[in-house]
Amino acid sequence: DRERDVRSFISYAVGCMMGRYSLDVDGLVFAGGNFEPSKYQSFMPDVDGVLPVLDDEYFQDDIVGRFVEFVEVCFGSAKLEENLDWIAASLGRRTDEISRDTIRRCFLDEFYRDHVRTYRKRPIYWMFSSGRQKGFQALIYMHRYQKDTVALVRTKYLLELEGRIDAKVKSLQKSLDSGIAGASKTQVSRTIAKLERQLAELRTHDEEMHSLADDMLEIDLDDGVKENYAKFASVLEAIR
């Protein structure tokens, strides 16, 4: 089953990004305890254990960028684009998409739903989500959670994203005011409207994140996913 196997590969890639798995060590590598960087030589996990899952590449550790890096490490640079095309085709690439667009759409709309289903509503990766506009989404690994993780997600990613989207809106508005014509003008107007909806959503989400960040909540892995996840229900993707 090509599609199933590709989705499993993507899940394994995320595991390597989080440090749960390593290309250099068989089996489960980290599920709590001491995090040992020496076990990751071929592909290093994300330094802070936070992976932005956004509709554009706003950050260096963007999940699509890291996935592309993972594919290159696994299979080499010579056939990187061919491999990305094959992965995208396996995921149902649309006619108007390049391979990275398809992979991004998979991470935005499908990955977390698949992960929750695979782990029977007890996910080990948790998705911070601002809401329906998907202005902000970021994955963390529960076994790497620290009591300052929410504050880290908020200050390093959420607030930074607000600033970048706001700047993008102003830039697009300036180009619109300068006299873009025809279809381009319509498209730019739609993009501005979408970004403004996302900004409004981000600001509401920030209020909730700020409150939780101040609480510096701790989790006990022995309590299980359900009890720990509930502590952050106001800022995480709802489990359905």
* CA atoms within 13 A of residue 196's CA, in its CB half-sphere: 11
Mean pLDDT, range 19-40, rounded to an integer: 95
Backbone angles phi, psi at 218, to 5 degrees: -105, 155
Q: What 3-state class would DSSP assign to 9?
A: helix
pLDDT band at 175 (very low <50, low <70, confident <90, very high): confident
pLDDT in tens, 101-126: 999 999 999 999 999 999 999 999 99
Using CB atoms within 10 Å of the CB of residue 2, give its burial: 0 to 12 exposed, 13 to 18 middle, 19+ buried.
exposed
- Contact assessment for residue 67 and residue 101, using Cβ atoms and an 8 Å cutoff: no
Q: Is the pLDDT of residue 183 over 70?
A: no
33-60 as b/e: b if 16+ CB within 10 A = eeeeeeebeebebbeebbbbbbbeeebe
pTM: 0.94
109-126 as b/e: b if 16+ CB within 10 A = eebbeebbeeeeeebbbb
Residues 6+ apart with CB under 8 A from 129: 136, 137, 235, 236, 237
pLDDT in tens, 52-100: 999 999 999 999 999 999 999 999 999 999 999 999 999 999 999 999 9
User: How many CB atoms neighbour CB 160 within 10 A?
Assistant: 14
* CA atoms within 13 A of residue 142's CA, in its CB half-sphere: 21
Which run of H or E residues covers position 137? strand 137-141
